[in-house]
Amino acid sequence: MNCPHCGSDNTRKHSIIYQEGTSHGKGEASSWGGAKYTTEHLSQTPLAQRCSPPERPGIGKLLSFLGILFSAWVAYQVVILFRVPPERSWWVKAGAFFSSLALLRIFWSFVFGRHRKARYDELYAAWEKSWVCVKCGESFVEK
């Protein structure tokens, strides 16, 4: 694979650099009570950091906040829709409200989960085809 920038063939895959430059260390430590536990530490070279695989993208704070607001609103509508009689005790309303909330939560994670997975797969596939030129430092994607 030749670098499109300087033409050098001294290029390496991102995935290789990442594996080379990342080490998971395990250490043993003992707590105050004498119980032993293992600690894990991650060390990475700056280049390995740059060549890291994509992180699983999150929904984003704003979107999840809006999701919660929307779910609460829908759950409230459900309570109204089923005409929970006002003389009924509050826990019936609360029950209807929270069970709708729980159902919506499952629905959201299903919708967003699928979307995120597709996006992540795309990024990951691109990462697997990414190269870096050792000579000039340029990153490029294999075609």
The Cα 3–Cα 23 span in angstroms is 27
Name the segment binding Zn ion (CB under 5 A); options: 3-11, 37-45, 62-70, 71-79: 3-11
- The nearer residue to Zn ion, 5 or 116, going by C-beta atoms, is 5
- The nearer residue to Zn ion, 8 or 99, going by C-beta atoms, is 8
Taking the alpha carbons at both ends of the chain, their separation in whole angstroms is 10
- The nearer residue to Zn ion, 84 or 133, going by C-beta atoms, is 133
Name the segment binding Zn ion (CB under 5 A); options: 1-9, 31-39, 44-52, 60-68: 1-9
Task: Give the x/- contact pattern for Zn ion in 104-143, rule: CB under 5 A.
Answer: -----------------------------x-xx-x-----
CA angle 118, 139, 8 (to 5 degrees): 140
- The nearer residue to Zn ion, 22 or 139, going by C-beta atoms, is 139
6 binds Zn ion (CB under 5 A): yes
Query: What is the closest distance, in whole angstroms, from the C-beta atom of residue 138 to Zn ion in the complex?
Result: 5
CA angle 106, 107, 112 (to 5 degrees): 100
**Total chain residues near Zn ion (CB under 5 A):** 8
The Cα 101–Cα 132 span in angstroms is 47
Pair 116, 59: CB distance under 8 Å? yes
**Could you tell me the two tokens for 52?**
């890291």
The Cα 7–Cα 16 span in angstroms is 20
What residues make contact with Zn ion under the rule CB under 5 A? 3, 5-6, 8, 133, 135-136, 138
